[in-house]
Structure 1
Amino acid sequence: MLKSYEAIYENGQIKWLGEQPQVKSARIIVTILEETEAPLKRRTISPSIAGKGKTLGDIVSPIVDEQDWECLK
């Protein structure tokens, strides 16, 4: 069975854009797409951290009091 995965090849490295194949060894066929004027770069969240973020406190008000901020005036 054939399955497609999207990746970018850059400086000798493969950067997976989504799901990564779970194989130790495989025969592959590489298709090179012509680059457009502005190559599209999609940002995706790593599956290892997806859904693990937490909101601490109120998202409108800061957790730390303003007096405790280290701001330059």
Structure 2
Amino acid sequence: MLKNYEAIYENGRLTWLTAQPPIQNARVMITILEETSPPTNRRTPPTSIAGKGKTLGNIISPIIDEQEWECLK
């Protein structure tokens, strides 16, 4: 009968993540789960628009007056 136990193999040693099985000798089958990060599909703007962005107006002062801010009411 097959039973599953979870452990981490590191530098030739097993560290059990669950209760250690109560056995002295056993035949084992090892499944290796490789830790891979999924590839990120980053969007990039077309090179034809490089350097064409413009800052319009004053980026420091707010667009509307403080008296009109709803969050301060």
TM-score by length of 1: 0.47
TM-score by length of 2: 0.47
